[in-house]
């Protein structure tokens, strides 16, 4: 099996930035988005997770820049950010990216999501931004809410069931509380999601160390639909390099002798 790492490039005002828990305030810039993308490509990335934060927060668009980045790269691109209706979906697909990621905000209209999935198949993934809350009686709720927003759009399990029925082939699953916090991934969430759906699952949020990635990759041995992880802040802060991570994940997923 293989486990794919997708370095994240979050773009705001034309710059590559990093945020915490999806919050748009005071992002720290990391330079030109195209230069960043070329760097990840040169370091061995096979996929890049490219996000238009301005579109995601409905405060503008970097569409032309992102299209230029996609056109310049030889690696595959998963494009995300502000994709929540037919116009934004078609604009994203027209860049020539390999896959678009329908934002959690788009889940207020599941019928439209199902139509997009039916029409575009493998080129559409769905973002599931999850808020995990304990209720007063001790039970746990898994609610869907776009990062940076307090607005909930549904229950994780109900939505997952409906999208599965609609033919969704891939989900990008984020525990919002972990996003950008360098506190480790929510393994229980990924175990439960991969056990509930047969669709592919890409983990996102919380990666702090190579050991976190190795843990996810080894979990993918038991749940082959856990196919990869988005990696962001840990790379930008130098916790490890992409070549180091790729090497250790390859070792963790190599066939046993």
pLDDT digits (tens, 9 = 90+) for 127-146: 999 999 888 888 889 999 98
Helix (H, G, I), strand (E, B) or coil at 119: helix
pTM across the whole model: 0.93
Ramachandran angles phi, psi of 100, nearest 5°: -110, 155
Of the ranges 9-13, 120-124, 173-177, which is most confident?
120-124
Residues annotated as catalytic (active site), given as ranges: 10, 129
At 48-107, the pLDDT tens digits run: 999 999 998 888 999 999 999 999 999 999 999 999 899 999 999 999 999 999 999 889
CB neighbour burial string for 27-37, b if at least 16 within 10 angstroms, e if fewer: beebebbbebb
d(CA 94, CA 89): 9
Helix (H, G, I), strand (E, B) or coil at 188: helix
d(CA 76, CA 99): 8
Sign of the dihedral defined by the CA atoms of residues 141, 226, 127, 167, in that order: negative
pLDDT over 70 (residue 27): no
Q: What per-residue confidence (pLDDT) applies to 28?
A: 52
d(CA 105, CA 128): 9
Exposed, middle or buried: residue 195 (CB in 10 Å: 0-12, 13-18, 19+)?
exposed
Instruction: For the domain covering 4-253, report its CATH number.
Output: 3.20.20.70
């Amino acid at each position: 099996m293989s486990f794919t790492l997708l370095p994240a490039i979050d773009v705001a005002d034309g710059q590559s930035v990093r945020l915490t828990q999806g919050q748009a305030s005071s992002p720290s810039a990391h330079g030109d988005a195209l230069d960043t993308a070329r760097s990840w490509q040169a370091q061995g990335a096979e996929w890049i997770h490219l996000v238009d934060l301005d579109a995601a927060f409905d405060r503008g668009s970097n569409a032309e820049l992102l299209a230029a980045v996609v056109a310049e790269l030889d690696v595959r691109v998963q494009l995300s950010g502000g994709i929540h209706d037919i116009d934004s979906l078609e604009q994203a697909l027209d860049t020539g990216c390999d896959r678009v990621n329908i934002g959690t905000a788009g889940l207020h209209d599941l019928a439209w999501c199902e139509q997009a999935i039916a029409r575009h198949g493998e080129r559409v993934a769905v973002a599931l931004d999850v808020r995990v809350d304990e209720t007063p009686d001790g039970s746990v709720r898994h609610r869907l809410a776009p990062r940076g927003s307090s607005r909930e759009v549904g229950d994780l399990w109900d939505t997952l069931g409906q999208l599965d029925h609609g033919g969704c082939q891939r989900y990008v699953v984020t525990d919002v509380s972990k996003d950008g916090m360098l506190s480790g991934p929510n393994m229980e969430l990924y175990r439960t999601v991969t056990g509930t759906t047969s669709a592919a699952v890409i983990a996102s949020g919380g990666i702090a160390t190579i050991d976190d990635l190795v843990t996810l990759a080894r979990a993918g041995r038991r749940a082959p639909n856990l196919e990869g992880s988005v990696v962001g802040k840990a790379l930008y802060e130098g916790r490890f390099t992409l070549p180091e991570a790729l090497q250790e994940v390859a070792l963790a997923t190599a066939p046993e002798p």
